[in-house]
Chains A and B, each alone.
Chain A
Amino acid sequence: MPDTVTLEVQRYRPEEETGPAWQRYEVPFRPEWMVLDALNYIKDHLDGTLSYRWACRMGVCGSCGMLVNGEPVLTCATYLEELPHGSIRVEPLRGFPVIRDLIFDLTDFLNKLKRVSPWLVRKKEQPVADGEYRQTPDQLAEYKQYSMCINCMLCYSACPIYELEPEFIGPAAIALAQRYNHDSRDEGVQARMDVLSQHDGIWACTFVGECSAVCPTNVDPAAAIQRYKLSATLDWVKSTVLPWGKR
């Protein structure tokens, strides 16, 4: 068992560098350490200028996603020991503008997410006196899987289409749209359909499936998109092919 491990970390400090540069750090190797623990060791003991996001250390906050040896992962859930020995490469997630070191800009995703109305849309709220909107366990099960998304952006980083066509609204935004579409209390299906039935909505997706392969909470965004394609096709059949359909 080695005593130390080398982390090759991508740095970018806009006031010092014109582009990304690599920096090597030698950190103690501990079998119980995650990649994030190694980064925290660097920050605390070797180089306080290294910048990265993290918060919960338990795969819930979704902020420590990075490319480790080229793979999008949560660094708080990736053991040093699981990685091939030798040096470990740590980069910001692919597909996003880098702000500083390992920190990337999420604005594009946040703007896209807003477009799918990721909340319960109601035409009319029932009076508070009428009590809660009740739901059966089966109704909850319909959307629960999609509600597990922690906005970690691993799926965007893994998606080749997002890299090629940056207008693509992307896996998590579609999975989150489905989270509300399949909620029995929601009435926003049509508004979301109008956004997502465009080319930059679901149709840009060619079902590569990498999003679901990297998702740490098994949201399975690829399945959410395929399911949405079927709904959108049925909606299209109703509105254009059947003359007695809507619109």
Chain B
Amino acid sequence: MRRSQEPGLWALFSAGGMLAALVLPVLVAVLWIAAPLGWVELPTHANLRALIGHPLTRLVLFAVVSLALFHWAHRFRYTLYDGLQLYHLNQLIAIITYGTATVGTMVTGYALVVFP
């Protein structure tokens, strides 16, 4: 990995980590704890459809999913690289991990655009 790419990859990694840390606990608390316990009313299917119909929601979803994927890619790359000490596979690992995140980002983008 050339040096010039490291700050960019780290920026995606840390942005993904921060977004996931902000968004996921709220989602879990609302949908998996508060709603089943009856503290809040579960949104109906129609509510959620209306919510996702809004372009801003799609933009936020796109950011959360793609950045979380890049967060995973960076973490997993170093888990393989340092954790399993696969130094000689550095290039291949980078291509697979960031490649997966890139493909996931494109699929997410496509899905959010074509979803009615």
As a 0/1 sequence over residues 199 to 230 of chain A, the CB contacts with chain B under 8 angstroms (1 = contact) are 10001001000000000000000000000011
Cβ-defined contact, A160 with B82, below 8 A = yes
Number of residues of chain B lying within 8 A (CB) of chain A: 12
Whether A203 touches B78, Cβ cut-off 8 Å, given contacts A164-B85, A233-B11, is no
Most buried by B among A160, A164, A236, A240: A236
Cβ-defined contact, B4 with A198, below 8 A = no
Cβ of B8 within 8 Å of any chain A Cβ, yes or no, is yes
Query: Which residues on A sit within 8 Å (CB–CB) of B10?
Result: 203, 229, 233
Query: In chain B, what residue has the closest Cβ to A235?
Result: B7
Cβ-defined contact, A199 with B6, below 8 A = yes
Cβ-defined contact, B85 with A197, below 8 A = no
Cβ of A113 within 8 Å of any chain B Cβ, yes or no, is no
Using C-beta atoms within 8 Å of the partner chain, give the interface range for chain A: 10 to 19
Whether A197 touches B3, Cβ cut-off 8 Å, given contacts A203-B10, A229-B10, is yes
Query: Which residues on A sit within 8 Å (CB–CB) of B14?
Result: 229-230
In the bound complex, CA of A164 to CA of B8 (Å): 24
Q: How far is the CB of A115 from chain B (nearest CB, A)?
A: 16
Query: Which residues on B sit within 8 Å (CB–CB) of A232?
Result: 7
Query: In chain B, what residue has the closest Cβ to A231?
Result: B7
Cβ-defined contact, B3 with A240, below 8 A = no
Q: How far is the CB of A197 from chain B (nearest CB, A)?
A: 7
Cβ-defined contact, A236 with B78, below 8 A = no
Cβ of A161 within 8 Å of any chain B Cβ, yes or no, is yes
Most buried by A among B6, B7, B11, B82: B7
Q: Which residues of B contact A (CB under 8 A)?
A: 1, 3-4, 6-8, 10-11, 14, 78, 82, 85
